[in-house]
Amino acid sequence: MEQFLEVIQKESIGVVKEKELLSNHTTWKIGGPADVLIEPDSLDSLKRIMELISQYDIPWRVIGRGSNLLVADGGIEGVVIKLGKGMDQLEIEEDTIRVGGGYPLIKLATVISREGLSGLEFAGGIPGSVGGAVFMNAGAHGSDISKILKEALVLFPDGRLEWIKGEEMGFSYRTSRLQQEHGICVEAVFQLEKGEKAEIVKHMQANKDYRRDSQPWKHPTCGSVFRNPLPNYAGQLIEEAGLKGFQIGGAQISTMHANFIVNIDKAKAEDVMNLISHVKETIKTKHNIEIETEVEMIGRPKENE
């Protein structure tokens, strides 16, 4: 790692930070330090970072805006690459948009609606990045990324940079092939439809208002924690089990929406993990249904002090 750091700090590739707390980079405001956090300032920089990571055999992973992510209290070994500024370009041509993986999804939905383009209204309240949305096939209000993705530019761990068609992404519920192949979505092309601007803005705002009024955003949260075990809904099952408001440490099952866990008092990742385990066990006992997490859990436990 020391050799890698010496080399990477001499490169003009963006921002490099050692022992950066990931609680500063997740919407849950939870997470220990990354050995190294790098925010590349361009695609060329990202490619160079990946070359060096491969050369020095350093563990790595990518994050976007840190939603849908629980980072352990012990942090993350190796390099965390954050796609943000420098990877957030946007081009609009007729009814097609080309956008960087680091572009905020909520902002994109707002900008596009004002252009009179329809198809992203569902994303008006999803607190992630474009790259993360493609990776997870993010969705809401009966639609998702798979419905609009024309193609994505993907950087693979071996250095391959490849355009993948939407129909080749292996999309299913909150899943894409990138999760198995550890691909990084660095750019996406979305096929939208021209429409009446006022109606599109109204529709998107209604979706945002619904999320604001029905989901807890006053405290740090990651978004939905559990996948819906269709035809059931995770939030409904948790509420019926009487778990709304149940708390472990600083983490609480939201009293507003039971599929959200909120950080109400300096919660640790361990608190959230214990709460998730309790929910799973309770739902299995009461409903005989096994529910799985939608949130991704990464990192190492904190050593006892």
Q: Which residues are catalytic?
A: 174, 224, 294
DSSP 293: B
Q: How far is CA 230 from CA 98, 153, 163, 182, 233, in A?
A: 33, 31, 32, 27, 6
Is the CB of residue 255 less than 8 Å from the CB of residue 244?
Answer: yes
Q: How far is CA 91 from CA 14, 95, 100, 112, in A?
A: 22, 11, 9, 11
Q: How far is CA 228 from CA 64, 177, 259, in A?
A: 23, 20, 9
Is the CB of residue 95 less than 8 Å from the CB of residue 194?
Answer: yes
DSSP 88: -
CA distance 275 to 142: 28
Is the CB of residue 14 less than 8 Å from the CB of residue 45?
Answer: yes
What is the greatest pairwise CA distance in the chain? 60
Question: Which residues sit opposite 40 in a β-bridge?
Answer: 14
CA distance 45 to 13: 5
Angle at 103 between CA 177 and CA 194, to 5 degrees: 90
**Interstrand relation of 76-82 and 60-63 (parallel, antiparallel or unpaired):** parallel
